[in-house]
Homo-oligomer: A and B are copies of this chain.
Amino acid sequence: MSTGGERATALRLIADRLAAHTGGVLAANAEDLAAARAAGRDAAVLDRLALDRARLDALAATVRSLADEPDPVGGVDGGGVMPNGLEVRRVRVPLGVVGMIYEGRPNVTVDAAALCLKSANAVLLRGSSTARRTNAALVAVIRSALADTSLPVDAVCLVPGVTHASVRALMALRGLVDVLVPRGGHDLIRATVRDSAVPVIETGVGNCHVYVDEHADLDKALAVLLDAKTRRPSVCNAAESLLVHGAVADAFLPRALTALAAHGVLVHGDERVRSYDPAVVPATEDDWGREYLAPELSAAVVGSLDEAVEHIRRYGTGHTEAVVSDSQSAVRRFVALMDTAVVAVNASTRFADGGQIGLGTELGISTQKLHARGPMGLAALTTTTHVLVGDGHVRDGAAVPET
C-alpha cells in the first residue's frame, strides 16, 4: 500500500498540474458550454458547468490543502491489551473502490478524486453528459500527474459512457465496488438507493426548517432566516420552511415577510401567516414536504415547541434543522427531539458544511444514519480492521494434544 507521504506528494503534483495546464481543460469546458447552450440548457446549468482560471485555481488550492490534512489512514482508534495478553488494535483502513455518480459541476470530479486519493481509495467517476469533455480533460490532467508518482494511474478512472447503462453497470458491481456515493438531484439519489446492489451512502436532500421560538431574539431570528433562505437557495442546506411560535408571530412575521419579499422570496403560508401579507400564497399539504431549491419558502405558525418538533419530524428529511431561542430549556428539548444529521442553535442551516465545521473538504452531506451522518470528510472514506496480535494465543487456553 502507498504511504501517506506518497499520497500527499501525488496530491501536490496534481494541484500543480491543474494550476499549470489550464488550456486543455478550459478548451474542453468551452465545448461543453457551447453544446449545453445549443441544447437550450438554462442559465443555472451553464453557471454550474462553467470553469475559468479562477475556478481552476480554487480547485488546485483545495487539492493542495487536502495534501496537508492529517492522513486518515492507519490511525489507531481503539484497542488495548486483553487480560490474556492479546494485543488489540482497531486500525483505520481505506474502503477500497469508491464509485461517484454525480451531476453538473466538474469540481466534484477533482474534489472526489483528491479525497479518494488522500484516503488511499481508488475512485470510479461517473459524471454527467453535460460535463463530459470537461471531466475527461480534468481526469487526463490527474492521471498524467499520477503517472509521474508511485501511485497507480488507475486509482482515478472516468467511467466511459454517460448513458444510464453506465450507472446501472456501476450499481451491479457488488464485491468489486465498495461504496457508491450519488450526488445530485432527488431522483438520482432515490434511484441509486433503490436499485444499487453496491452499498450506497445517501446524500443531500434537505427540507431544512428554521423554528423561531417564543423566546427567540427576533433580530437574530431574522438574520438566521435570511441567511438560510436567501444567500444561496439552490443548495441542500438552505432553509425551505419557517415555523414561528404563535406568541411571537405578530412581532416577527410582518418584519420577516417584508424582508423575504425584498429578497424576492415567494412564501407559501398557512392561514395565520397569510393574514400578515396578501402576497403570501396558500400552502398546500405538498408544500410542507418540498425542497424548493429556489427563492420559495413554506411558513406556518405553531402553538408550541412540541408542535414545531412534530411538524419537523413529519416533513423533515433528516438533514439540518435550526432553532432560534434564548431559552436554555427550549433549546435542550429541541436538540434532544431532533432526529437529524445537523441541529443548528441560533445559527444558520447553511453551516451544515464540512468546511464550516472543521471537517475540511467534504464528499457530500449524508442524510442516512449508518456509517456517516452529516458532512462527510475523509474519515467517511475509511473503515476499520481489528488487528489482534498474540504469541500462539488460543481462546480456551487448553493444551494441544500430543501428536
Contact = CB atoms under 8 A, between A and B. Distances in A.
Contacts of A178: 369
Contacts of A222: 400, 403
B357 A388 contact: yes
B369 A231 contact: no
B392 A220 contact: yes
One complex includes copies of this chain to the number of 2
A235 to B, nearest CB: 11
Given A223-B394, A400-B259, A403-B222, A387 B351 contact: no
A219 B400 contact: yes
Interface stretch (A18-26, A30-38, A332-340): A332-340
Contacts of A90: 374
A179 interface: yes
Contacts of A41: none
Contact of A343 (B95, B219, B346, B386): B386
A220 B389 CA distance: 13
Interface in A362-400: 368-371, 373-375, 383-396, 398, 400
Contacts of A388: 342-345, 347, 351-352, 357
B373 A385 contact: yes
Contacts of A263: 401
A400 B221 CA distance: 11
Contacts of A217: 392
A217 B367 CA distance: 50
Given A262-B401, A345-B387, A371 B374 contact: no
Contacts of A403: 222, 255, 258-259, 262
B345 A390 contact: yes
22 contacts: A1-B337, A86-B351, A90-B374, A178-B369, A217-B392, A259-B400, A259-B401, A262-B401, A262-B403, A340-B385, A343-B385, A345-B387, A346-B391, A346-B392, A347-B389, A348-B394, A351-B388, A370-B371, A371-B371, A373-B383, A374-B384, A374-B386
